[in-house]
Amino acid sequence: MKDSAVLLIDCPDRKGLVARFSGLLYQHGANILHADQHQDHEQGLFFMRVEFGLSDGGSLDENGGEISESETGGFNLEAFRATFAPLAAELNMRWNLDSSAHRPRVALFCSQYLHCIADLLHRWRTGELHCEIPLIVSNHREVVNVAAFYGIPFEHTPVIASNTSEVEARQLELLHENRIELVVLARYMQILSPNFVARYPAAIINVHHSFLPAFTGARPYHAAHARGVKLIGATSHYVTEVLDDGPIIEQDVARISHRDQVEDLVARGRDLERMVLSRAVRWHLDRRILCYGNKTVVFD
């Protein structure tokens, strides 16, 4: 990973925003590595992602002269944060600033289907996903050997109709104990309560085995087959209180025909599910996603 930081911002659009942000970064001696922006003209909103280096230069002194990195110890992220906060307040801005050195702590939830969680763990082990995974949670035991192979603690939380609140209380306790920042539902076939979702706003990613908003619910491949569709899909999205209705992060499709049976749709859909979920998790970890309303901006 680069020694860098990422600034994500969204605010009401107005002239001169880019100049003000880039000027402040320049004053602090930042080297901008990548910048991307988007405007929603209908809502009058501005979105931007700026990635900048933390070790290639110093700040400017009061006369505009550069202070060497040896004098400053590199870019002072906390000093920039303190300077940026008043500007953000002035511009009515939502913003987040984080360094690449920070590895978010992620909990993986699954049920009986293991293709998505196995894919995520492989990508994590090979370094594709820049995070820590200190916890795997499941309402079944099928994943226990996979968790043991990767050396990750596993918690079995069986769910029945009469104990859902107790199970969620235990799960939230586990998330708190492990300082979890992102929850990934890798085919976790349980509906989370509004209380659970409220604890992790825009920080629970689900994969749904359908091209949402079509075929919501638990058996979308059966519904797609019954409807005779020619394309099936998968969707990764943030979880909200409304089932399968959260902001969509990524989708993909595969073409099918009248010859395909439900089992064929399920088999082909598994590849789509793996791809859209891993992309969504990676983009979240790379600080590339901004949510607004029930939509997302996903920066390149």
Element (H, E) at 248: strand 248-255
* Residue of 215, 210, 256 lying closest to 234 (CA atoms): 210
Phi, psi of 200 (to 5 degrees): -135, 65
Look at the pTM and tell me if it is higher than 0.85. Answer: yes
Phi, psi of 39 (to 5 degrees): -120, 135
pLDDT over 70, % of the chain: 92
Task: Check if 3 is active-site.
Answer: no
Q: Which residues contact 197 (CB under 8 A, 6 or more apart)?
A: 204, 239, 240, 241
* Cβ neighbourhood burial of 60 (10 Å; 0-12, 13-18, 19+): middle
Place of tokens 């509906």: 191
Question: Is 27 within 8 Å of 66 (Cβ atoms)?
Answer: no
The pLDDT of residue 71 is: 39
Residue 250, classed as helix, strand or coil, is: strand
The pLDDT of residue 128 is: 96
The pLDDT of residue 66 is: 41
The pLDDT of residue 198 is: 96
Q: How far apart are CA 35 and CA 18, in angstroms?
A: 10
- Which residues does residue 5 pair with via DSSP β-bridges, in sequence order? 52, 99
50-72 confidence digits (pLDDT tens): 999 987 544 434 343 443 333 34
255-295 confidence digits (pLDDT tens): 988 888 888 888 888 999 999 999 999 999 999 999 998 99
122-179 confidence digits (pLDDT tens): 999 999 999 999 999 999 999 999 999 999 999 999 999 889 999 999 999 999 999 9
Phi, psi of 115 (to 5 degrees): -65, -40
Domains of the chain, earliest start first: 4-99 (3.30.70.260), 105-298 (3.40.50.170)
Six token digits for residue 247:
């902001």
Res 2 pLDDT > 90: no
The pLDDT of residue 162 is: 86
Catalytic residue among 244, 245, 286, 300: 244
